[in-house]
């Protein structure tokens, strides 16, 4: 019996050693084929732009094509589910915003195929954040938040657009309704770009959006920024005050971007992808493109993204209950 146990222990030790040796080997051979970068939103928004910048740079660095796939739906959960079900080898990655972490608190159980983003995916890196803002169409003829709220109180049920149910923009709208005591009608769209197009077309008068999806339209004057739903002003629009500065408390939301891999991806592969993305975030042309799109470069270890996920899971879960936010 002791001999059998000794043999078993030896086999376990050998297996563990082999796994340790395989980890660097996996990283050295990665990627061994095309890489898919799944964006769970339609083309044209901030995540899509970032993904295409990354795809070009990583393909050149890795010597393998990096293909961007747009898979919108269910508050980013459809794309998340597709990645979670993929082989855990790093060749299928997800680039999303924190909508993916928030929407499960709003959508029906099982939405997106029942993916659990906290257990079925592993964080790789948080490349950037983007300031959140309230924009209006020029036809409203208002220049600040108090004026817009006064108008909304006179015209009850004014529609506001968001990037979808459970998005940070959705929460920002409901927080403003509570803080200012106004009646606004939520109109969810399937991503940032469709919501921006709706505002430009006059379908909605108010738009909550990350600057990553709207900065060009702000600079052209087609959309008017009234307030940042952040704690502080943004260097991207230093002249635009926060909601708090304009007398409205309790309207603060955050928006971050994250790259994820299926749970079980070798740690050495995760570290390689993290390091390579951090390297490209240092490139001047990449930083310039992201800044022009309204994104603040971040980067760092996978733990940074993991902490973002934990914090948002707790905060937005509580807010969803307080504000009674449900799918429209």
Q: What is the pLDDT of residues 162-221, one digit of tens each?
A: 988 888 999 999 999 999 999 999 999 988 889 999 999 999 999 999 887 788 899 999
User: Does any domain span residue 18?
Assistant: no
Same domain, 113 and 192: no
Return the pLDDT at 2. 47
User: Does any domain span residue 75?
Assistant: yes
CATH number at residue 174: 3.40.190.10
Same domain, 191 and 47: no
Whether residue 287 is predicted with pLDDT greater than 70 in this model: the reply is: yes
Return the pLDDT at 44. 84
Cα–Cα distance list, 196 to 137, 147, 266 (Å): 11, 22, 39
Whether residue 24 is predicted with pLDDT greater than 80 in this model: the reply is: no
Question: How many other C-beta atoms lie within 10 A of the C-beta of residue 206?
Answer: 25
Mean pLDDT calculated for residue range 253-280: 97
Same domain, 291 and 278: yes
CATH number at residue 316: 3.40.190.150
How many domains does the chain contain in total?
2
Give residue 14's pLDDT band: very low, low, confident or very high (50, 70, 90).
very low
Among 227, 246, 265, give the residue marking a domain's end: 246
Instruction: Tell me what the pLDDT averaged over the chain comes to.
Output: 90
Same domain, 137 and 242: yes
Return the pLDDT at 110. 87
Q: What is the pLDDT of residues 91-110, one digit of tens each?
A: 999 999 999 999 899 888 88
What the block records as the tokens of 154 is 């006179």
> Cα-Cα-Cα-Cα dihedral of 265, 267, 272, 277, to 10°?
70
Mean pLDDT calculated for residue range 296-322: 95
Among 246, 278, 303, give the residue marking a domain's end: 246
CA-only gyration radius of the chain, Å: 22
Return the pLDDT at 5. 45
Same domain, 157 and 237: yes
User: Does any domain span residue 49?
Assistant: yes
User: Does any domain span residue 153?
Assistant: yes
CA–CA separation, 130 vs 28, rounded Å? 33
Same domain, 216 and 295: no
Same domain, 155 and 62: no
What the block records as the tokens of 253 is 């939301």
Please, is 96 exposed, middle or buried when counting C-beta atoms within 10 Å of its C-beta (0-12, 13-18, 19+)? buried
The residues, ordered by sequence, that sit 6+ positions from 190 with a Cβ below 8 Å of its Cβ are: 41, 42, 72, 73, 164
Return the pLDDT at 18. 46
CA–CA separation, 107 vs 103, rounded Å? 6
The alpha carbon dihedral of 59, 64, 65, 68 has a sign of negative
Domain coverage including residue 183: 132-246
Helix (H, G, I), strand (E, B) or coil at 190: coil
User: Does any domain span residue 17?
Assistant: no
User: Does any domain span residue 1?
Assistant: no
User: Does any domain span residue 163?
Assistant: yes
Q: What is the pLDDT of residues 65-96, one digit of tens each?
A: 999 999 998 889 999 999 999 999 999 999 99
Q: What is the pLDDT of residues 117-171, one digit of tens each?
A: 999 999 999 999 999 999 999 999 999 999 999 999 999 899 999 988 888 999 9
Q: What proportion of the chain, given as a percentage, has pLDDT over 90?
A: 74
CA–CA separation, 128 vs 26, rounded Å? 27
User: Does any domain span residue 27?
Assistant: no
What the block records as the tokens of 168 is 């940070």
Same domain, 43 and 137: no
Burial letters 209-222, b for 16+ CB under 10 A, else e: bbbbbbbebbeeee
Same domain, 83 and 152: no
Return the pLDDT at 4. 47
CA–CA separation, 324 vs 174, rounded Å? 9
Same domain, 287 and 138: no
CA–CA separation, 172 vs 160, rounded Å? 10
Return the pLDDT at 27. 60
CA–CA separation, 249 vs 141, rounded Å? 24
Return the pLDDT at 142. 96
Same domain, 305 and 238: no
Tell which residue, 156, 157, 223, 164, has the closest CA to residue 189. Answer: 164
The position carrying tokens 């970032």 is: 50
Same domain, 218 and 297: no
């Amino acid at each position: 019996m002791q001999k059998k146990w000794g043999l078993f222990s030896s086999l376990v030790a050998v297996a563990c050693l082999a796994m340790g040796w395989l980890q660097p080997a996996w990283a050295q051979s990665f990627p061994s084929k095309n890489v898919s970068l799944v964006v769970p939103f339609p083309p044209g928004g901030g995540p899509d732009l970032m993904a295409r910048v990354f795809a070009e740079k990583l393909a050149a660095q890795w010597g393998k094509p990096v293909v961007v796939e747009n898979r919108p739906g269910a508050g980013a959960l459809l794309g998340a589910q597709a990645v979670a079900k993929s082989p855990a080898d790093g060749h299928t990655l997800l680039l999303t915003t924190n909508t993916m972490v928030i929407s499960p608190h709003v959508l029906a159980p099982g939405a997106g195929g029942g993916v659990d983003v906290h257990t079925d995916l592993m964080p790789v890196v948080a490349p950037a954040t983007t300031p959140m803002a309230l924009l209006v169409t020029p036809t409203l003829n208002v220049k600040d938040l108090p004026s817009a709220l006064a108008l909304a109180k006179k015209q009850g049920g004014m529609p506001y657009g968001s990037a979808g149910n459970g998005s940070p923009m959705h929460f920002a709208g409901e927080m403003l309704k509570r803080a200012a005591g106004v009646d606004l009608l939520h109109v969810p769209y399937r991503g940032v770009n469709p919501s921006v197009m709706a505002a430009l077309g006059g379908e909605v008068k108010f738009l909550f959006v990350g600057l990553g999806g709207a900065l060009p339209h702000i600079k052209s004057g087609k959309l008017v920024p009234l307030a940042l739903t952040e704690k502080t002003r943004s260097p991207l629009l230093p002249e635009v005050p926060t909601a708090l500065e304009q007398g409205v408390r309790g309207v603060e939301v955050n928006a971050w971007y994250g790259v994820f891999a299926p749970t079980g991806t070798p740690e050495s592969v995760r570290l390689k992808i993290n390091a390579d993305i951090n390297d490209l975030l240092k490139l001047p042309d990449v930083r310039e493109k992201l800044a022009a799109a309204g994104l603040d470069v971040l980067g760092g270890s996978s733990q940074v993204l993991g902490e973002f996920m934990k914090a948002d899971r707790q905060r937005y879960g509580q807010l969803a209950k307080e504000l009674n936010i449900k799918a429209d």
